[in-house]
Chain A
Amino acid sequence: QVQLVQSGAEVKKPGASVKVSCKASGYTFTIYYMHWVRQAPGQGLEWMGVINPSGGSTSYTQKFQGRVTMTRDTSTSTVYMELSSLRSEDTAVYYCARGGRGKMTTVEYWGQGTLVTVSS
């Protein structure tokens, strides 16, 4: 069965960076795109970007351009999302979420989420 297991909760100070990991299992890692989505407390879902684990190509939404970096390690079937220059508004649950086979047109499976708290 498909499983996406994310790293644990983080507390960061404003201006710092955070790196969240997502280890995939139960399917061929390189065939499916991986999205990153965040949800601020009491708010809706916000798409951050996507990575193609096959070649490592990425696409980020304009809001996070220059602050987010998505990478992958095919040897461990793990994707990473690093967000820099953190501010209080970045406090949210961050989800990795698997796309469809060879395409990014939907989200089929979700990780359990990682709470990132930004506070001085």
Chain B
Amino acid sequence: QSALTQPPSASGSPGQSVTISCTGTSSDVGGYNYVSWYQQHPGKAPKLMIFEVSKRPSGVPDRFSGSKSGNTASLTVSGLQAEDEADYYCSSYAGSNNFVFGTGTKVTVL
């Protein structure tokens, strides 16, 4: 199972929006509505931000939103804030009790 492909980096100024892509195949991202997104600050454990493509866990700001089209999922962070600077990873269920993460994207708030 190959890792899902994410851009290495993305950036935006405070208040702007940034969108991160996550590209897989029809066997993972495209085959199931089980894409999740995680935020990880340096030295910390990841935190779930989006699950099942577009659902937000309790406590996650509505500035974070997710979507999917075909084999590519996307995470959009609107109204960027300094604390949004972190690494972001996507994941997808890949069938037959398999699971896969993305390669990760470092988001910088300029």
Contact = CB atoms under 8 A, between A and B. Distances in A.
A61 B57 CA distance: 27
Contacts of A110: 45-47
Interface in B63-110: 89, 91, 93, 96-104
Interface stretch (A9-17, A45-53, A77-85): A45-53
Contacts of B89: 44-45
B93 A104 contact: yes
Interface residues of B, number: 25
Interface residues of A, number: 22
A35 B103 contact: no
A105 B97 CA distance: 9
Contacts of A61: 1, 98-99
Contacts of A105: 32, 34, 36, 51-52, 93, 99
Given A105-B52, A106-B48, A110-B46, A37 B98 contact: no
